Amino acid sequence: KENLLKKIISHAKEYGFVFPSSEIYDGLSAVYDYGQNGVGLKNNIKAYWWKSMVQLHENIVGIDAAIFMHPTTWKASGHVDAFNDPLIDNKDSKKRYRADVLIEDHIAKIENKIKKEVTKAAKRFGDDFDEAQFRSTNPRVLQNQEKIDTINQRFKASIENEDFGDLKALIEELEIADPVSGSKNWTDVRQFNLMFSTELGSLAEGANKIYLRPETAQGIFVNFLNVQKTGRMKIPFGIAQIGKAFRNEIIARQFIFRMREFEQMEMQFFVKPGEELQWYESWKKKRLEWHKALGFDESNYRFHDHLNLAHYANAACDIEFNFPMGFKELEGIHSRTDFDLKAHEEYSGKKLQFFDPQENQSYVPYVIETSIGLDRMFLAVLSSAYTEETLADGSERTVLKLPPILAPVKVAILPLVNKDGLPEKSREILDLLKYDYNCQYDFKDAIGRRYRRQDAIGTPLCVTVDAQTLVDDTVTLRHRDSMEQERVAIGALNDRINELVAF
């Protein structure tokens, strides 16, 4: 599977989906640029989300708030005081790590030892192998499992109590070495805030420290009353937003899974206090359905319910996706209580309440939040769609089996040969279709190679124009996944394509 991630990264680069940022200067860690096909896929994911959240819900509206916000916003939200990671430096290599990740990696290594032991035994015993029984009786496995449990217990306690002295002690006791230099010479563990800061205004005017937003949610909270009043919204209602967020992530790895500049698609749903848990359950269900509607294998998704809740939540879960690196968070669904709105009331001195005409009283609503990383969704889509196939004739093809609504190019128009009036006819068809679909015109190389190129970027349909087209005004429509071809009259082409690629 690790191999799969490598393949996806190189495919994404080769076919213009994702490039390392400022690559000619050797890139910038955890920052990426989307290329000509990447931006198409990304925009289509956004449109799919926006359409199902905003367009299909009469009680959800969108906004686009600024990335810069008044600095007090982040005091109120808790980000200035609590949006931290525990960091540790190696004194010899001068490399910086997240202390919690060093310990997690150490645990993963012990887990790997167990896995190896299990695989070995499975081979030895063949069909008779009972893994559960083996795990509960083999002394080496038991010993390692006990090690993991002990480390985990202490690890969790020190994180919960913010006992960084003990976190360091644990790293030393486990003799965790710097993965780069092998040195075990560590500094103390300290807190590191993940927000990027900069200065607003020139120094002469008395500069003000401000932050790049680490989440889009706060732009929604501070606009709650503006939208409610001007949109005459009645509770329950939601506000949705797609936009950039910035976090100074310490471990920058796993491609676009964890970036320093990324995009979020968030929706805050405002409800009557006391009704939040039923809305939480309904949004959990709806969001999972949204993922499943794309048609990828359903076993790729699972819920992870949070047992340790953040200070602002009274229920929370993640939708995890089976990424090439294993199951990891793709989307968070949180019941955030009235924490944010109350905090903004307190810090701003302004009321952020809804007057309920039925109850004849005002209250601060409770909030259910659905928050998905656009880039993580992009990676989920790309890794589900990426397929290597051996065809009947023994040749191989790499095809992105993207849901047609997400494909960056919907139709490729291909003259069978680049002469005899076929290019002219093909361009006529292009002019017919380009207002409705993102099309690509390609005449270079043999038709088979052109099909492969379209397969590699996930184009669901190819229209091939041949000599017969000039005689009877029909073309060949070639389907990406089945590679089957059908003959369609040019006059019926738009309707047929629409049937196959529409939302």
Q: Which residues are annotated as a binding site?
A: 98, 215, 247-249, 257-266, 329-330, 369-376
CB of 293 to ligand ATP, least distance (A): 18
CA gap 240, 242 in Å, rounded: 7
Q: Using the rule CB under 6 A, which residue among 44, 264, 337, 474 binds ligand ATP?
A: 264
Task: Point out which span in 152-160, 255-263, 380-388, 407-415 binds ligand ATP (CB under 6 A).
Answer: 255-263
275 binds ligand ATP (CB under 6 A): no
Judged by CB under 6 A, the stretch of 273-281, 360-368, 373-381, 430-438 that binds ligand ATP is 373-381
Of 388, 147, 105, nearest to 253 (Cα)? 105
Provide the minimum distance between the beta carbon of 415 and ligand ATP in the complex, in angstroms, as a whole number: 42
312 residue type, one letter:
Y
Contact criterion met (CB below 8 Å) for 191 and 86: yes
- Minimal distance, residue 361 CB to ligand ATP, in Å: 33
User: Which residue stretch of 68-76, 155-163, 177-185, 259-267 sits at the interface with ligand ATP (rule: CB under 6 A)?
Assistant: 259-267
Pairing of strands 237-246, 366-373: unpaired
For 65, the 3-state DSSP assignment is coil
Q: Alpha-carbon distance 305 to 317, whole Å?
A: 4
Place of tokens 């009786």: 137
How many helices and strands in the chain, by DSSP H and E?
A: 17, 23
Min dist CB 54 to ligand ATP, Å, is 19
**Per-residue x/- track, 184-223, ligand ATP (CB under 6 A):** -------------------------------x--------
Residue type, 129: F
Nearer to ligand ATP, 42 or 258 (CB): 258
Distance of CA 352 to CAs 237, 291, 312, 342, 358, Å?
A: 15, 33, 17, 8, 19
Is 465 a binder of ligand ATP (CB under 6 A)? no
Which of residues 335 and 464 has its CB atom nearest to ligand ATP in the complex? 335
CB 247, min distance to ligand ATP, A: 5
By CB under 6 A, is residue 375 in contact with ligand ATP? yes
| 473-487: burial string, b at 16+ Cβ within 10 Å, e else | ebbbbbebeeeeeee
Question: Segment contacting ligand ATP (CB under 6 A): 84-92, 129-137, 371-379, 432-440?
Answer: 371-379
Instruction: Kindly indicate which of the ranges 148-156, 236-244, 323-331, 442-450 contains the residues binding ligand ATP, using the contact rule CB under 6 A.
Output: 323-331
Show the beta-strand stretches assigned E in 148-281: 190-193, 197-200, 208-211, 237-246, 261-271
Looking at the Cβ atoms of 340 and 375, the one nearer to ligand ATP is: 375
Among 53, 212, 330, 465, binds ligand ATP (CB under 6 A): 330
Return the residue of 158, 216, 218, 371 that touches ligand ATP, per CB under 6 A: 371
> Toward ligand ATP, which CB reaches closer, 114 or 265?
265
Residue 261's CB is within 10 A of a number of other CB atoms, namely 16
* Phi/psi at 462 (5° precision): -120, 135
> How big is the CA angle at 251 (ends 66 and 325), to the nearest 5 degrees?
100
- As a whole number of Å, the CA-based R_g of the chain is 27
Shortest CB 232 distance to ligand ATP, Å: 30
Specify the residue, 324 or 373, whose C-beta has the smaller distance to ligand ATP. Answer: 373
Helices marked H in 70-223: 72-76, 79-82, 99-125, 131-137, 139-160, 164-173, 217-221
255: how many CB neighbours lie within 10 A of its CB? Answer: 23
Q: Which residue in this structure is represented by tokens 């950039």?
A: 244
Check binding of 460 to ligand ATP (CB under 6 A): no
Going through 258-375 in order, the beta strands assigned E by DSSP cover 261-271, 301-305, 315-323, 326-337, 354-356, 361-363, 366-373
Residues contacting ligand ATP: total by CB under 6 A = 16
For residue 495, the SS3 value is: helix
Candidates 41-49, 258-266, 302-310, 455-463; binding stretch for ligand ATP (CB under 6 A):
258-266
The span of 34-42, 84-92, 366-374, 417-425 binding ligand ATP (CB under 6 A) equals: 366-374
Q: Which of residues 221-250 bind ligand ATP (CB under 6 A)?
A: 247, 249
Residue 39 or 121 with smaller CB distance to ligand ATP: 39
**DSSP string across 437-457:** S-EEE--SS-HHHHHHHHHHH
Among residues 186 and 339, whose Cβ is nearest to ligand ATP? 339
DSSP assignment, residue 69?
A: -
Give the footprint of ligand ATP on this chain (CB under 6 A). 215, 247, 249, 258-259, 262, 264, 329-332, 371-373, 375-376
